[in-house]
Amino acid sequence: MKTKRMFFILPVIFMTALFIGLVIELDTVHATSHEYFVDPENGSDSNYGISEGDAFKTVQHAHDQTEPGDTVFLMNGTHDTADGQAVLRISRSGTSNNYITYTAYPGHNPVLFTDSAWNVILVEGASYIRIDGLEIKGNNDNISSSDAWNRSEHFVDNVDSGTVNWSYLAPTNTNGVFMKYANDNVPHHIEVRNMNVSDLPGCGICTEHADYITIEDNEVYENSHYTIYATSGISIFHPRDIDNNTGYKNIIRRNKVYNNYTTIHWGARGYISDGNGIIYDDSKNSQSSSLWTGEAYEGRTLIENNISYLNGGSGIHSFSSEHVDIVNNTAFHNSQKLDYGEIYAGDSNDVNLFNNIMYAEDSSKPVNRNWDNNNVNYNYNVYFNGIVNTQGSDDIVTDPEMVNPWSGNFKLQSSSPAKDSGTSSLAPSEDFEGNARPSGAIDRGAYEYQSDGQSSGEVVRDKWTATAFGTPHTDPNNAIDASQNSAYYSGASMKSGQWFRIDLGSSQSISRIQFSSDDPGNFPDGVDIYISDDYNWGTPVASVANNTNQLIDVSFSATTGRYIVVAINTSKSSWWQINDFRAYH
């Protein structure tokens, strides 16, 4: 009997081993992964897509071929082929050891764009996905306020009767990257990194009913302006646990988030809402719109080393949420549309807000809030220029003395009270730029003070002189005196050809300039930039058009010269004002 059994079992063992070996071999073969290439200008979806010269045309077609471990390289050009939902709809998943990656082909700068779909990239219930190093651009420049209001009114007039034309609404509600529950699957383990996401009428980067989300090292700006959905630059909404882990599962870090705001009423409510830089929203799942109403999310979320400024709502906040650490962030002049505050928690539980810098626009606006909270801890923060609604024992109310926040430089001066005064509790090991923390002791804010005291590559201004066209109302040198409280004023309406000139004192290589006005109207709509070794302007090294920002920051190919000239190319009725001017090698 035993002998018969042995003869029966041995073939089974042999066949099982053979099958397992075959599976392992097949998995090993695929583990080498495939690379697909997408060229929107020269590619064809009839190609094999496995080389640069045989690329696909559409990223969606590349997606449809992917398996775990594959990489899709997007090449130069505008990727804009979309269905009604997205340019790229991701529904195919990777595995824990083999993410599917969508990224720019090395040396290329592809742009994903749509003016008609609901999203640029939509992750529909897929998991183990990496989206890295892409530029996403929306159609804000071609949307008028009246058009957005017309579509909003269509929604209000038709939502109760169920007669909304949803495709009509899409162009004014387009999101950048949206990750959502679909096909009975919670999307999880999604990484969105190194992205430039701008000009979307809807959200920049957002999730709903997702888990294990990492959003890091992105620049997210000028989004949410025309949506009816009260979106923000970065948001995690109604997170959903896929397991019992109570450690960090969601991470939002080292993002620069600015000029995100709403102007259109939220649905049929009759008022605008949100337009925040970063929001962690309703992890309690208390709202009726949640698919799991009342089932609170148990995972923990980390929001660290972000810079959030000039947003319409808050810089960063937790709303109706739990288990959040908001640490070493810098928020400046938020609440441009709504008096939310800079960084805070509301209706929240188990939240720590440590080592943050909160700098309000004026004394009438809150720097923080503290309502309906339980076990919410504010400490080791710096508050300035606004209403402090709650304060921890080691919080300080003083000027954080950043280098020049009005021109986008949020680094600390050597005399800053934020320097070496933070807590090591929950503090990150690096700062916004990847510099090691601590340098001395832990600093407050997104930057750890560096002994050079300047932004990387910044040109020292000690030998500069400034001049300008005509008879200026104030001294042009006010723009280069390192004081935000003084400014150059032209004393005349802006007209094409008017100029502002910097003499660097010697010929130097320049690849970037930055100048700002602290007045919301006194900035140019368009400029041309020249660099030369004499007063002859020559050909512009860069131009700016259709500008809507008080801060103009322009990079270009490195050019050597002694003189930098900025010339108006678009007339405007207001004066030209420059509070701060900087240049970089």
What tens digit of pLDDT does each residue of 366-386 get? Answer: 999 999 999 999 999 999 999
Q: Does residue 339 form part of some domain?
A: yes
What's the token pair of residue 298?
A: 């148990």
Taking the CA atoms of 493, 494, 499 and 501 in sequence, report the sign of the dihedral they define: positive
Together in a domain, 375 and 484? no
- The model's confidence at residue 417, banded by pLDDT at 50, 70 and 90, is very high
Work out the angle at residue 47's Cα, subtended by the Cα atoms of residues 44 and 48, and round it to the nearest 5 degrees: 140
- 319 and 405 fall within a common domain: yes
Residue 549 within any structural domain of the chain: yes
Mean pLDDT for 7-11 is: 38
Per-residue HEC secondary structure of 226-271 comes to CCCCCCCCEEEECCCCCCCCCCEEEEEECCEEECCCCCCCCCCCCC
Name the 3-class secondary structure at 146. Answer: helix
Among 579, 528, 526, which Cα is nearest to 556's? 528
Q: Work out the average pLDDT over 544-560.
A: 92
| H or E element that contains 573 | strand 572-578
- Are 304 and 398 contained in the same domain? yes
Comparison of pLDDT for 547 and 288, the residue scoring more: 547
Q: Counting beta carbons within 10 angstroms of the beta carbon of residue 331, is it exposed (0 to 12), middle (13 to 18) or buried (19 or more)?
A: buried
Is 47 among the domain residues?
A: no
Question: Which of the listed residues 379, 412, 445 is the one where a domain comes to its end?
Answer: 412
The vertex-292 CA angle with 287 and 294, nearest 5°, equals: 60
In-domain check, residue 141: no
Number of separate domains in the chain: 2
Question: In this structure, are residues 286 and 249 in contact, taking their beta carbons and an 8 Å threshold?
Answer: no
- Residue 223 dihedral angles phi and psi, to the nearest 5°: -115, 165
Q: What is the mean pLDDT of the chain?
A: 93
Looking at residue 441, what DSSP letter applies? B
- Averaged pLDDT, 533-558: 91
Nearest to 90 by CA among 202, 168, 195, 207: 207
* Cα distances (Å, whole numbers) of residue 177 to 65, 124, 192, 291: 21, 11, 9, 21
pLDDT in the model for residue 12: 41
Same domain, 481 and 335: no
Separation of alpha carbons 379 and 375, rounded Å: 13
* Residue 155 included in any domain: no
Query: Over the Cα atoms of the chain, what is R_g?
Result: 26
Phi first, then psi, for residue 497 (nearest 5°) are: 100, -20
Contacts of 108 (CB under 8 A, 6+ apart): 73, 74, 75, 76
If asked whether residues 481 and 393 sit together in one domain, one would say no
Indicate whether 211 belongs to any domain: yes
In a domain, 394, yes or no: yes
Is-contact 222 251, C-beta < 8 A?
A: no
pLDDT of residue 28: 44
pLDDT at 286: 95
In this structure, the answer to whether residues 284 and 377 fall within a common structural domain is yes
Of the candidates 281, 263, 111, 125, which has an alpha carbon nearest to the alpha carbon of residue 190?
A: 125
Closest residue by Cα to residue 189 from 254, 251, 246: 251
Beta strand 129-132 pairing with 465-468: unpaired
Q: What is the C-alpha separation between 116 and 150, in angstroms, rounded?
A: 16
Residue 516 · residue 524 · CB < 8 Å: no
Q: Is 506 helix (H, G, I), strand (E, B) or coil?
A: strand
For residues 397 and 261, membership in a common domain is answered with: yes
- Confidence (pLDDT) at 536: 82
- Any residues with CB less than 8 A from the CB of 332 and at least 6 apart, and which? 307, 308, 309, 310, 315, 342, 357, 359, 402, 405, 410
Query: For residue range 130-166, what is the model confidence (pLDDT) as tens digits?
Result: 999 999 999 999 999 999 999 999 999 999 999 999 9
Most confident of 15-29, 411-425, 504-518: 411-425
**Tokens found for residue 153:** 């009114």
C-alpha span between 580 and 552 (Å, rounded): 11
Token pair listed for 415: 């005399």
Q: Which residues pair with 304 in a beta bridge?
A: 253, 327
Task: Say what percent of the chain tops pLDDT 70.
Answer: 94
Of 380, 412, 444, the last residue of a domain is: 412
The domain of 578 spans 465-584
502: pLDDT strictly greater than 50: yes
pLDDT, mean of residues 212-238? 99
> Are residue 355 and residue 215 in the same domain, yes or no?
yes
Question: Over 60: is that where the pLDDT of 26 sits?
Answer: no
Whether the CB-CB separation of 120 and 140 falls below 8 Å is answered with no
Residue 287 structure tokens: 């709202």
Place of tokens 């050909």: 539
CATH of the domain at 506: 2.60.120.260
Which of residues 350, 384, 412 is at a domain's end? 412
Whether the pLDDT of residue 24 is over 50: the answer is no
pLDDT at 510 over 70: yes
- The SS3 call for residue 6 is helix
Find the mean pLDDT for residues 566-572: 95
Lowest mean pLDDT among 19-33, 173-187, 395-409: 19-33
Higher pLDDT, 108 or 31: 108
Helix (H, G, I), strand (E, B) or coil at 400: coil
Residue bearing tokens 């509790």: 425
| Structure confidence at residue 8 (pLDDT) | 35
Q: For residue 192, which phi and psi values (nearest 5 degrees)?
A: -120, 110
Residue 88: pLDDT over 50: yes
Query: Do 513 and 364 belong to one domain?
Result: no
Same domain, 233 and 343: yes
373 by DSSP, 3-state: which?
Answer: coil
pLDDT digits (tens, 9 = 90+) for 259-318: 999 999 999 999 999 999 999 999 999 998 889 999 999 999 999 999 999 999 999 999
Quick one: which of 280, 124, 292, 131 has its CA closest to 216?
A: 131
Same domain for 489 and 375: no
Q: Is the pLDDT of residue 252 over 70?
A: yes
C-beta separation of 66 from 88 below 8 A:
no
pLDDT for residue 31: 54
Phi-psi region of 376 (alpha: psi -120 to 50; beta: other; left: phi over 0): beta
Residue 170: is it exposed, middle or buried by C-beta count within 10 angstroms (0-12/13-18/19+)?
buried
Are 274 and 336 part of one and the same domain? Answer: yes
**Residue 158 falls within a domain, yes or no?**
no
